[in-house]
Structure 1
Amino acid sequence: MSDTVASRGLDALGFIAREGSHARVPLAFRPVVAAARDRLLDAFGTRLDSAYLNGSIPRGTARVGRSDLDLVVVLRSEPTGADRDAARGLGEAVDKEFPQIDGVGTLLFSRARVLDERERHDIGWFVACLCTPLLGEDLAEFLPRYRPDSTLARETNGDLALHLPRWRRRIAAAGDGEEALRPLVRFMSRRLVRTGFTLVMPRWNGWTSDLREMAEAFAGYYPERSEQLRRAAVSGYDPVGDRAVLRSYVDDLGPWLADEYARVHGEKSPRPEGWD
């Protein structure tokens, strides 16, 4: 395998290599990770099956005061409202205590869902390739290896069309202040860049979580839309609360991307109600 391919997040056999490790966590964020680990045990106790880090902190690219802490919590049964309240409270407490992070995001899943065949190329892939074990059993041991193919593209981001109406409602309901709009710009920018990247991922033949690298990979195949995705990558890292940006996402870039994605890879397989 060439150095070019090997450098694109693949191992020597062409599978997506697991990104992130505890060794890569920057020194400034290690107390944050330690506190989160302890509080996860306190918050979920025996209901906790496993927990993971993901995002820029375990990849070693986090920026002090700008990056958030991303956690994935896997429970022994389906998450309840009380579990979500506990996760929210934990995140607020850690965010308040540690100024080096800008928020905490926590995803909750059951063990059964992570290992469900229907989630094999979505949540399963996410845990196996993009998450760094923090507590409990590593469920990657029960999951396959993954290649950057069309099946993975379809099952990870082939549902953008379903999300656009929800995005429009969120934009309409949001206030006009920077604090209300900035998180929406960051969230939607990141989702669109990742969708644009996975659209071309099988042809690019690799994986990256760097938004700018994602946008450049996309640009090689869709030059007419390249500047839009490059700007979205910038907004994914340094968002400005601009309603016009959000409108451009749901009125132009998002619908085009959803249509092109369906044409190239098809639509994501249906999930049971409640599996958002």
Structure 2
Amino acid sequence: MEHRGLDADGCFEREGSLGQVPGAFAGVVAAARGRIRDAYGRRLHSAYLYGSVPRGTARPGRSDLDLLLALHHEPAGEDRDAAEVLARGLDEDFPEVDGVGILLYGKDTLLSEAERFDLGWFLACRCTPLLGADLAEHLPRYRPDGLLARETNGDLADVLPRWRRRMREASTPDEYRRLCRLFSRHLVRTGFTLVMPRWGGWTSDLTESAEVFGGYYPQRADQMRAAAAAALEPVADPAVLRAYVEDLGPWLADEYTARHGTKSPRARHDRQDTH
């Protein structure tokens, strides 16, 4: 039987580790550890890596560095300003990374009941501890079921209007490429979690995610494969973005709602895309 990212009990295995960080990224990870400590001091509870760097699949000069910081309190303006300075400094000082993203949350939010099957799952299953005590010790084990599908990506219908607004505000090739990467990743992740309970497993590989999705929705398989390719090699083409927000996105949102329902209401956070 295929492994599919699960342990012998059918629960998610935590992906990534510091031991899997490619040698080319060891310097930026070490710098991130030191700079996070300096920037936040006692305000910081713990810090985590996620994405291709701790999974060992990052490509020098092409991949970004993704960090999640858990604070003892809910983030304030000075915390967000520090994250912006930190991200910009790492991006400028280390050419091996193409952008640095920092998620910033209070530890109580990450451990809250409302976020148990969204941010909590994300931290426990997709984040690698970098600094401090691991909050995953306070979270349950997770399975690839419909509840997880609903609470992670069951809000695409609410996301699409924000995407349309960001498209209207974009005007440069770099802005279009950034949106292409963001939209493409989100759509592929959502397409995968749509079918995740039926497939019975987890993958963070975007190409594999698109292939798994295509096995259940062959009529949309080519679109999802193209989105996976654009997530890895984003293009500065507004037509690609329009196709996402006018065709693939609305269809996917409707199909997701029909199969899994919509994400439970909660206080909205200023969050980057995690899925």
Q: Check whether TM > 0.5.
A: yes
Letter in 2 for 1:192: L
How far did 1:12 drift? Answer: 1.1
2:118 to 108, 114, 122: 122
Letter in 1 for 2:63: S
Which aligned pairs between 1:36-55 and structure 2 lie closer than 5 A? 36-55=32-51
Deviations 1:160-193 (A, max 9, x none): 0001000000000111x21111000000000000
Deviations 1:253-272 (A, max 9, x none): 00000000000000000012
How far did 1:149 drift? Answer: 0.3
Percent identical? 63
2:80 equivalent to 1:84: yes
Letter in 1 for 2:230: S
SS at match of 1:63: coil
**Superposed CA RMSD:** 0.8
Structure 2 CA distance for partners of 1:31 and 1:76, relative to 1, 3 Å = same
Which aligned pairs between 1:111-260 and structure 2 lie closer than 5 A? 111-175=107-171, 177-260=172-255
Letter in 2 for 1:242: D
Aligned residues: 271
Distance of 1:64 and 1:274 partners within structure 2 = 31
Aligned to 2:89: 93
SS at match of 1:74: strand
SS at match of 1:57: helix
Distance of 2:226 and 2:270 partners within structure 1 = 31
2:19 to 16, 23, 26: 23
- Unpaired stretches in structure 1, ≥5 consecutive residues: none
How far did 1:274 drift? Answer: 4.2
How far did 1:85 drift? Answer: 1.0
Structure 2 CA distance for partners of 1:68 and 1:121, relative to 1, 3 Å = same
Letter in 2 for 1:238: E
- Unpaired stretches in structure 2, ≥5 consecutive residues: none
How far did 1:273 drift? Answer: 4.3
Aligned to 2:261: 266
Structure 2 CA distance for partners of 1:76 and 1:228, relative to 1, 3 Å = same
Q: Give structure 1 regions of 4+ aligned residues with deviation exceeding 4 angstroms.
A: 273-276
TM-score normalised by structure 1 residue count: 0.97
